[in-house]
A and B are shown apart, each in its own frame.
Chain A
Amino acid sequence: MNASTRIYLYRRYERFWHWSQAVLVIFMLVTGFEIHGVYKNFGFQRAVEYHTLTAWALLTLWAFTIFWQFTTGEWRQYIPTLHRVFAMVRYYAYGIFVNAPHPFHKTASKKHNPLQRLAYVTLLAMVSPLIWGSGFFYLFYSYWRELGLEGTVPLAWVALAHTAGAFMMLTFFIVHVYLTTTGHTPLAHIKTMLTGWEDVEDEVPVKEA
Chain B
Amino acid sequence: MSQKKLLLAASLLAAVLAWSTAWSALPAANPASPPALPASAKPPGKSTVDHGKLKELQKKFTSGPEVTKACLSCHTEAAKQVQHTKHWTWEYTDAKTGQKLGKKNIINNYCTTTISNEKDCMACHAGYGWKDASFDFAAEDNVDCLICHDSTATYRKLPGDAGHPVYERREFPAGSGKFVEAVDLQKVAQSVALPSRANCGSCHFYGAGGDGTKHGDLDSALKKPGKYLDVHMDAKGLNFTCSTCHATAGHQVSGSRYQMAAALTGPAHTRGKPDASPAACQSCHGDKPHKESILDAERLNTHSNKLACQTCHIPEYARDSIGTESSWDWSTATTMGADGKPVFVKDSAGRRAFDSKKGNFAWDSYVVPEYRWFNGHVSYKTKGDRIDPSQIVEINHPDGEAGQADARIWPFKIHRGKQAYDSENNYLLVVHTAGEDDTALWRNFDWQKAIATGMQTAGLPYSGKFGFVSTEMSWPITHMVAPKTDALGCAQCHSENGRLQGISGIYLPGRDHSHLLDGLGWLVVVLSLLGVLIHGSTRIYLHFKHRG
Task: Check A163 against B298 for contact (C-beta < 8 Å).
Answer: no
- Number of residues from A at the complex interface, CB < 8 A: 34
Stretch in A79-87, A127-135, A170-178 with 4+ CB within 8 Å of B: A170-178
Task: Check B521 against A97 for contact (C-beta < 8 Å).
Answer: no
Task: Check B546 against A99 for contact (C-beta < 8 Å).
Answer: yes
**Closest beta carbon of chain A to B243's beta carbon, Å:** 34
Stretch in B35-43, B95-103, B530-538 with 4+ CB within 8 Å of A: B530-538
Q: Which of A96-150 contact B (CB under 8 A)?
A: 96-99, 141-143, 145
Question: How far apart sit A51 and B12, CA to CA, in the bound complex (Å)?
Answer: 48
Q: Does A156 interact with chain B (Cβ within 8 Å)?
A: yes
Task: Check B491 against A45 for contact (C-beta < 8 Å).
Answer: yes
> What chain B residues lie within 8 Å of A170 (beta carbons)?
521, 525
Task: Check A163 against B542 for contact (C-beta < 8 Å).
Answer: no
Q: Does A155 interact with chain B (Cβ within 8 Å)?
A: yes
Task: Check B529 against A174 for contact (C-beta < 8 Å).
Answer: yes
Task: Check B536 against A178 for contact (C-beta < 8 Å).
Answer: yes
Task: Check A174 against B510 for contact (C-beta < 8 Å).
Answer: no
Contact with B524, one of A159, A163, A167 (Cβ below 8 angstroms): A167
> What chain B residues lie within 8 Å of A35 (beta carbons)?
494, 509-510
> What chain B residues lie within 8 Å of A44 (beta carbons)?
489-491, 494-495, 510
> What chain A residues lie within 8 Å of B528 (beta carbons)?
171, 174-175
Q: Does A53 interact with chain B (Cβ within 8 Å)?
A: yes
Task: Check B542 against A175 for contact (C-beta < 8 Å).
Answer: no
Q: Does A160 interact with chain B (Cβ within 8 Å)?
A: yes
Question: How far apart sit A96 and B296, CA to CA, in the bound complex (Å)?
Answer: 51
> What chain B residues lie within 8 Å of A166 (beta carbons)?
521
Closest to A53 in B: B295
Question: How far apart sit A96 and B517, CA to CA, in the bound complex (Å)?
Answer: 34
> What chain A residues lie within 8 Å of B536 (beta carbons)?
178, 181
**Closest beta carbon of chain B to A185's beta carbon, Å:** 11
Question: How far apart sit A53 and B521, CA to CA, in the bound complex (Å)?
Answer: 25
Task: Check A164 against B525 for contact (C-beta < 8 Å).
Answer: no
Question: How far apart sit A171 and B518, CA to CA, in the bound complex (Å)?
Answer: 13
Contacts A96-B539, A97-B542, A98-B542 known; 13 new A-B pairs at CB < 8 A: A35-B494, A36-B509, A36-B513, A43-B490, A45-B489, A97-B538, A97-B539, A163-B513, A164-B521, A167-B520, A170-B525, A171-B528, A174-B525
Task: Check B298 against A178 for contact (C-beta < 8 Å).
Answer: no
Are A174 and B296 also in contact (CB < 8 A) when A37-B510, A97-B539, A155-B506 are? Answer: no
When A and B form their complex, what is the total count of cross-chain residue pairs whose Cβ atoms lie within 8 Å?
Answer: 85
- Number of residues from B at the complex interface, CB < 8 A: 38
Question: How far apart sit A154 and B403, CA to CA, in the bound complex (Å)?
Answer: 11
Residue with the highest number of chain A CB atoms closer than 10 Å, among B298, B301, B510, B546: B510
> What chain B residues lie within 8 Å of A159 (beta carbons)?
507, 509, 512
Task: Check B490 against A48 for contact (C-beta < 8 Å).
Answer: yes
**Closest beta carbon of chain B to A147's beta carbon, Å:** 12
> What chain B residues lie within 8 Å of A175 (beta carbons)?
528, 531-532
Q: Does B56 interact with chain A (Cβ within 8 Å)?
A: no
Task: Check A163 against B518 for contact (C-beta < 8 Å).
Answer: yes
Chain B contacts to A: CB under 8 angstroms: 295-296, 298-299, 301-302, 305, 489-491, 494-496, 506-507, 509-514, 517-518, 520-522, 524-525, 528-529, 531-532, 535-536, 538-539, 542, 546
Closest to B288 in A: A142
> What chain A residues lie within 8 Å of B506 (beta carbons)?
155
Task: Check B302 against A141 for contact (C-beta < 8 Å).
Answer: yes
> What chain A residues lie within 8 Å of B535 (beta carbons)?
92, 178
Chain A interface SS verdict (over half): helix
**Closest beta carbon of chain B to A64's beta carbon, Å:** 23
Are A145 and B517 also in contact (CB < 8 A) when A37-B496, A154-B507, A167-B524 are? Answer: no
Contact with A145, one of B299, B305, B496 (Cβ below 8 angstroms): B305
> What chain B residues lie within 8 Å of A145 (beta carbons)?
305
A selection of 10 A-B contacts at a CB cut-off of 8 Å is: A44-B489, A45-B491, A92-B535, A97-B538, A143-B298, A156-B512, A170-B521, A174-B528, A178-B532, A178-B535
**Closest beta carbon of chain B to A87's beta carbon, Å:** 18
Closest to A175 in B: B528
Q: Which of A26-68 contact B (CB under 8 A)?
A: 35-37, 43-45, 48-49, 52-53
**Closest beta carbon of chain B to A183's beta carbon, Å:** 12
> What chain A residues lie within 8 Å of B299 (beta carbons)?
48, 141-142
**Closest beta carbon of chain B to A173's beta carbon, Å:** 9
> What chain B residues lie within 8 Å of A143 (beta carbons)?
298
> When A and B form their complex, which 3 residue pairs have the shortest distance between CB atoms, in order from nearest?
A167-B521, A178-B532, A156-B507
> What chain A residues lie within 8 Å of B542 (beta carbons)?
97-98
Question: How far apart sit A159 and B517, CA to CA, in the bound complex (Å)?
Answer: 11
> What chain B residues lie within 8 Å of A178 (beta carbons)?
532, 535-536
**Closest beta carbon of chain A to B299's beta carbon, Å:** 6
Contact with A52, one of B295, B494, B507, B525 (Cβ below 8 angstroms): B295
Task: Check B495 against A37 for contact (C-beta < 8 Å).
Answer: yes
**Closest beta carbon of chain B to A46's beta carbon, Å:** 9
Residue with the highest number of chain B CB atoms closer than 10 Å, among A44, A52, A155: A44
> What chain A residues lie within 8 Å of B491 (beta carbons)?
43-45
Task: Check A171 against B510 for contact (C-beta < 8 Å).
Answer: no
Task: Check A171 against B525 for contact (C-beta < 8 Å).
Answer: yes
> What chain A residues lie within 8 Å of B295 (beta carbons)?
49, 52-53
Closest to B523 in A: A167
Closest to A154 in B: B507
> What chain B residues lie within 8 Å of A155 (beta carbons)?
506-507
Task: Check A163 against B495 for contact (C-beta < 8 Å).
Answer: no
Question: How far apart sit A37 and B501, CA to CA, in the bound complex (Å)?
Answer: 14
**Closest beta carbon of chain A to B263's beta carbon, Å:** 13
Question: How far apart sit A160 and B301, CA to CA, in the bound complex (Å)?
Answer: 24
Task: Check B524 against A142 for contact (C-beta < 8 Å).
Answer: no
Closest to B511 in A: A37
> What chain B residues lie within 8 Å of A96 (beta carbons)?
539
**Closest beta carbon of chain B to A100's beta carbon, Å:** 12
> What chain A residues lie within 8 Å of B509 (beta carbons)?
35-36, 159
> What chain B residues lie within 8 Å of A97 (beta carbons)?
538-539, 542
Closest to A157 in B: B507
> What chain A residues lie within 8 Å of B495 (beta carbons)?
37, 44
> What chain A residues lie within 8 Å of B494 (beta carbons)?
35, 44
Closest to B403 in A: A151
Question: How far apart sit A142 and B305, CA to CA, in the bound complex (Å)?
Answer: 9
Question: How far apart sit A207 and B546, CA to CA, in the bound complex (Å)?
Answer: 27
Closest to A48 in B: B490
> What chain B residues lie within 8 Å of A142 (beta carbons)?
298-299, 301-302
Question: How far apart sit A142 and B297, CA to CA, in the bound complex (Å)?
Answer: 10
Task: Check B517 against A163 for contact (C-beta < 8 Å).
Answer: yes
Task: Check B296 against A37 for contact (C-beta < 8 Å).
Answer: no
